[in-house]
A and B are shown apart, each in its own frame.
Chain A
Amino acid sequence: MGAFDTPERPRIFSGPNLLLICIVLLFCVFGIRLWYLQIYKNDFYTSRAQENRTRQSTMFSPRGIIRDRGGVLLAENTPAYALALVREDCPDIPKTLDQVSRWTGQPRDELEKVFEIGRKRVKHFDEQVIVPNIPFELVALVEAHRQDWPGLTIAVRPKRSYAYGPTLAHVLGYVARANEEELNDDPDLQLGDDVGKQGVEYVLERRLRGTKGLEEFEVDASGRVLSSRIVTQPVKGEDLNLSVSLPLQEIATKALDGRTGSVVAMDADTGEILAQVSLPSYDPNEFVVGISHAKWKELLEDPAHPMQNRPVQSAYPPGSVFKLAVGGLALESGSVTPATTVFCSGSYKLGERSFRCWNKGGHGVVDFKKSLRESCDVYYYQLGERLGVNAISDYATRCGFGVKTGVELPHERSGNMPTAEWKLKRFGEKWQRGETLNYSIGQGYTQTTPLQVARFVAALVNGGRILRPTLLATTSPDVVGELPMKASTRKLVLDAMVATVEEERGTARLLRREGIRIGGKTGTAQVVKLMDKYEKKKTQEIPYKYRDHAWLAGFAEKDGRRYVAVAMVEHGGHGGSDAGPVVAAVFDALFGVQQGN
């Protein structure tokens, strides 16, 4: 035997035992450690290894383009260059931002702010856009200095472009950089993405946007890309064909001649909006590239509110246009027959107060047709007395007044059809009988949008179907209700509208065109209760903001095509003379009538 036969030393930590203990410990400790790492924590380390070797990158999907009904491109995507930063590739971020500031002339602290806000939202190794929309000269400059500034890259992002700018601003709206709130609400949005903010771009954002794709790269430790695969294909946004006709939109805009107001032209049978003009307007392209603070302030503080899309976002008293509905109710309820007459002396006495007709000389004997043709106020004062405020409101609501139309435009206003209860609740005051008289000629608390008027007239024309107006080209109208008017009643109302255009003393005679059946109703909405001092004055002599709004709602029919056009000129004075030519221009364009006929 060897050296270990001395009986005096039975020891653990020396001799043969020591070696055996070493072996057993080695096996046990590392065996357990291997089990811990490879079995117990396998999932954790597998995902860490996966993260190590893969990088993901978003594949952007182009936003759907928008065309008019004739196929003209209204909104398209043009390539634009943005200066972006990749944190992981950037050795010295503050210095790089200094350089960006020198190149772009943007203040250093502003860039810093953009970077700090955005960095939390940008995935590792993804580019973070620091300066969107840089000019091409800068692109060349940055590319030339790539070696010096490894963290900087040029990101190519599609930029929305609106070829017809202000003409369609209120229809299309615009896209702009998504803000903090939008990013929080929508997980699909990434920093630097554009999102619809107004108009069709806003309402149909989901359809237009498309879905981003995801590309996965296999990289080595130095970040070199070895292979790539597309995890999800990007899906292009849906292209939209609008119902709007660019030429008609341009004609209607021109006809409004710079005045504040709106025009709506609609296909009476489909609910397609052919033109939707709101003046003043703005250039949506300025928002896409990031509107300057000064410009934004200027738009907001403009007393004419160019950002307001009047056909749906402004509610006005309908004025005499409302008589179409009140008249309809009177016939439907049997309060009057077409032959019932009223004598108009130029005013109507209610108790102590006298309510004037617009025609101080009086209309004499007035039947239903004449009441609309000449827009006799006294006739409707009497109807109002008989019908009462609540019945009128109920009926008008069923006609679509005071009800949102559901068109594809944002922030639509519903307007208001007052009732006695409403007034009590709103003002704590009782409804006065005199207010009913005012109401029955479309003045006072009643408020409606131009689009609601257009929809109502369309329903009169198309056989009583209340449609949801749409900005998308369609052949299948969305019928949302039925006009509470028998065919015979509709015919009487329409005939009276035609008489308003065709006959002597009609208030909308300048719409008359040979060979086309055209009807119309004028309206003058009082902005304030007319003050005595302005009463006898001509429109031009009254201060602008106190001038009445001018309405004209008309329809035109020929060869089975039926259109409705509503023009509303704010503070325009008189419906027939001020709003009339606008509607006439629309119909002329629709039926190809030469100017001057």
Chain B
Amino acid sequence: MFDRRLVFHINWGLVALTAILFLVGVVNLYSASALRVASGIELDSYFNKQLLWGGVGLLVLSCIVLVDYRHFKAVSWPYFILSLLLLLAVSVAGKTIYGARRWLDLGFFNLQPTELAKIAVLILGARLLARMDGRLGWVNLGKVLLVGLVPAMLVVKQPDLGSALNILLILGGMILFKGITAGVFKVLIVALPVMLPFGWFFLHDYQKQRILTFLDPGNDPLGAGYHIIQSQIAIGSGGFWGKGFLQGTQSQLRFLPEKHTDFAFAVFGEEWGFFGAMILLGLFCSFLYQIYIVAMEAKDDFGSYLAAGVFFYFFWQILINMGMVLGIMPVVGIPLPFVSYGGSASVVNFCMIGVVLNVAMRRFVFKNA
């Protein structure tokens, strides 16, 4: 079943970029785990764990690559339904951490069904979009959107607005990639901005607060504005060359909150400066470009939409996380791929890469295949 010729068609550029990004992330986590204390430096174990999760991710990636992505079509519905069931399970029997019910305790690790749901929506979305002809009209748009809205509603209940939004944004990106009819486009471009303010009433107080704080961080410098202000101080004080590895005062002295997760990029920006941050930004853009190439060269629509979905999966995370760290977007708890610490997220990231590699290496129709 596995053709050895496939190995030659592996997109090595994407593999290399993934490896570099992951290593940069681990190195940065080493620094983000460090705490300067009177006697020197103390380390938390985040970078070790991240390496472990990276290994797990690599394993999953290998498995995914082995199976031709066209088989995904067959499992797209069952997998989607399984994800919904898990989401329901979480809302009943989930584990509550920080006031949010997001995890299923499986004994050996905490499963976050939201991450599985993202993949499910991506695959099912790609399958539906591939089947549809031409640009999406109202009916088709509604069908595809439903695939995202159902899990998104369940996720919002957890509550995890960030992930729910993420699911819808991934799907939205895929829909735009597919294209919508001029009529739909015209209506949406008017309707969406009009509807946006009504969304305000669905937000929790803390979410409203975050948005207000984003608009005026100085309003509450020690409370909600603290993250935004400290993050910008960290980045801004990095200067051109940065303060050097393990030398960032904002992170080492713990002025920077959530420095190993959501604000890991601020640690990087502080220690590696404009120089390092631009290189990292360049790496991310090249990484996205590689996925774009895969989407272009896929041999069928399904592969193309899968790659586009993965593209948006990463794109939104990078956009929202960096936007937050750089103070041009409100604080939303979305990690930066490969750079922020996170077990489930790392594994899912590698899964996604696996999907893209899968599509890429099977872009040619072999005579004997």
Contact = CB atoms under 8 A, between A and B. Distances in A.
A300 interface: no
A2 B304 contact: yes
B356 to A, nearest CB: 13
Contacts of B315: 22-23, 26
A219 B249 CA distance: 10
Interface of A is mostly: helix
Interface string A17-47: 0111011001101110111011101101110
Contacts of A220: 36, 253-255
B285 interface: yes
B296 A16 contact: yes
A220 B254 CA distance: 6
A9 B185 CA distance: 14
A52 B256 CA distance: 11
The prevalent SS among residues of B at the interface is helix
A437 B218 CA distance: 81
Interface of A: 2-4, 6, 9, 11, 13-16, 18-20, 22-23, 26-27, 29-31, 33-35, 37-39, 41-42, 44-46, 48-50, 52-53, 218-222, 224-227
Nearest to B299: A2
A27 B299 CA distance: 29
A29 B238 CA distance: 19
Given A220-B36, A221-B255, A227-B38, A23 B285 contact: yes
A41 B234 CA distance: 12
A50 B243 CA distance: 12
Contact of A222 (B254, B274, B284, B319): B254
Contact of B239 (A11, A26, A31, A38): A38
6 contacts: A22-B288, A23-B315, A34-B235, A52-B233, A219-B253, A221-B254
Contact of B179 (A2, A15, A26, A226): A15
A149 to B, nearest CB: 21
Given A11-B179, A34-B269, A39-B274, A221 B253 contact: yes
Closest 3 CB pairs of A and B: A45-B236, A49-B237, A14-B179
A39 to B, nearest CB: 6
Contacts of B303: 2
A20 B236 CA distance: 29
A49 B254 contact: no
Contact of B289 (A15, A23, A34): A23
B239 A14 contact: no
B145 interface: no
B278 interface: yes
Contacts of B285: 23, 26-27
Contact of A38 (B173, B254, B274): B274
Given A34-B326, A220-B253, A19 B277 contact: no
Interface string B287-306: 01100100111111101100
A35 B326 CA distance: 11
B249 A53 contact: yes
Interface in B131-183: 134-135, 173, 176-180
A220 to B, nearest CB: 4
Given A2-B304, A226-B37, A49 B233 contact: yes
B315 to A, nearest CB: 5
A48 B178 CA distance: 47
A38 B236 contact: yes
A42 B295 CA distance: 40
Contact of A19 (B37, B255, B278, B311): B311
